Structure 1
Amino acid sequence: MLYETELRIVLTALGIVASILSIVKTWLDIKNLRSKNKKAQNRKKPRRRKRK
């Protein structure tokens, strides 16, 4: 059986891991959105017409 101190340490460690995973997920979401925005901007650029 876990003692109170050990339980607190385990729960604190789990909290830290959860925080790190949340930060990583947020970073990946931001990276994904930026790449989607760049792709959308590239599609919106008008093509230059050749001079006759």
Structure 2
Amino acid sequence: MVKKVFTWGGIAFLVFFVAYQPSSAADVFKSLGGGLLDIAQGFGDFFTDLVA
């Protein structure tokens, strides 16, 4: 039950954040995407160095 409340609360907050602060929301998602790309690049470099 608590998990369901937090899930719906998170979705509501996300919708509110995107609707009322679109530029800030875009910056947050750009930052998260950049972080994920950096992590993927790090794993790629690791496996390349491991094999080579």
- What is the aligned length? 35
Unpaired stretches in structure 2, ≥5 consecutive residues? 1-17
CA distance in 2, matches of 1:26, 1:8: 29
* Structure 1, unpaired ranges of 5+: 1-5, 41-52
Distance 1:15 1:8 in 2: 14
> TM-score, normalized by length of structure 2?
0.61
Structure whose CA Rg is larger: 1
Highest RCO, 1 vs 2 (Cα 8 Å, sep ≥ 6): 2
Identical aligned residues as a percent: 9
Q: How does 1:1-52 map to 2 (within 5 A)?
A: 9-40=21-52
Q: Distance in 2 between matches of 1:8 and 1:22?
A: 23
Q: Could you say which structure has the higher helix fraction?
A: 2
